[in-house]
Amino acid sequence: MTEHPPRSVLLASPRSFCAGVERAIEIVERLLDQRGGPIYVRKQIVHNVHVVRALEARGAVFVEELSEVPFGATAVFSAHGVSPAVRAEAQARSLDVLDATCPLVTKVHAEARRFAERGDTIVLIGHAGHEEVEGTLGEAPGQMVLVETAADVEALEITGPVSYLTQTTLAVDETAEVIEALERKFPQVRGPGSDDICYATTNRQIAIREVAARSDLVLVVGSKNSSNSVRMVELAARGGTPAHLIDDASEIDPAWLDGVTSVGLSAGASAPPELVDEVVAALEALGTVSVSTHTTATETIAFTLPLAVRRAG
């Protein structure tokens, strides 16, 4: 048996669940406790395959569209938010709706409505096709344009007042470049009163950047459709450290560890913390490891649950 040199595992902190994800999952869990299944959820409640499977096992039914939900049933909107058109469809189908939209996404929707009411053309910085982006675009479809890069900004042709909003789970540094391009092209452009990129996304990016600088390899636990998880991997790689996104410990390729003496480890905001523990255990099975934590921020934010699920189950 080949002896591996001892490896250090550096845990980034904060990592794993954020307040918005915890709130969304708890809404579904409480509904299942109070009402039993099925509880219908439009799209994935959060972008993590393990969370979805666990809730399915308890009686949650995930659907792509509300047309799949029986008339009058209980339905939950995911943490990523929905457009006014989806809310209208739910009302037309007499659905009993519980809204698990992250309050920080709700903030962006409110900004979109306010900017549209004052007559602005709104430039939304985000990734085409992402559920959060689709929901935000639906707030003012006739007045909003989507861009992803600074090059997209250069192609814009807008007359009249311009404002911008951003998806909450973007890479902070890349988004800053797009905003700078907007400010150059439209000097009078106005943005939100406070950053739209959420605290949890920012905190996890800061932490992974620092951990990556001290590591030979970075592993980020998260699903492929998790925007904030993907951004963390990209950020580590841009700094020159090989980085991989894994759903769980089973996806670790031992070849990644050849010659590696330090592993940076984190998890996206929708990844359960126990998955990180399982990755540490898998690394321990491959050789001696020492585990330490690098903390760059302490998160104390919590969001209130909807009144309908706050009562005792």
User: Is 201 known as a binding-site position?
Assistant: no
Whether 16 has a binding-site annotation, put simply, is: no
The answer to the question of whether 225 is labelled as a binding residue is: no
Q: Which of 132, 134, 154, 157 is catalytic?
A: 132
Spatial distance between the Cα atoms of 126 and 118, rounded to a whole number of angstroms: 22
- Which helix (H) or strand (E) element contains residue 207? helix 199-212
Cα R_g (the chain), whole angstroms: 21
In 10 A of CB 20, how many CB atoms? 26
128 near 104, Cβ under 8 Å? no
According to the annotation, is 270 in a ligand binding site? Answer: yes
288 annotated to a ligand binding site: no
Q: Report phi then psi at 276, rounded to 5.
A: -65, -45
- 227 annotated to bind ligand: yes
Q: Which of 180, 167, 186 is nearest to 125 (CA)?
A: 167
Taking Cα atoms as reference points, which of 236, 218, 232 lies closest to residue 268? Answer: 232
Q: How many angstroms separate the most distant Cα atoms in the chain?
A: 70
Q: According to the annotation, is 18 in a ligand binding site? A: yes
CB atoms within 10 A of CB 247: 17
Determine if residue 83 is labeled as part of a ligand binding site.
no
Active site residue 174: no
Q: Does 166 belong to an annotated binding site?
A: no
- Is 102 among the annotated ligand-binding positions? yes
- Tell me the binding residues: 18, 47, 80, 102, 130, 168, 198, 226-228, 270
**Which residues participate in the annotated binding site for [4Fe-4S] cluster?**
18, 102, 198
The annotated binding site for isopentenyl diphosphate is made up of 47, 80, 130, 226-228, 270
Binding residues for dimethylallyl diphosphate: 47, 80, 130, 226-228, 270
Catalytic residue annotation: 132
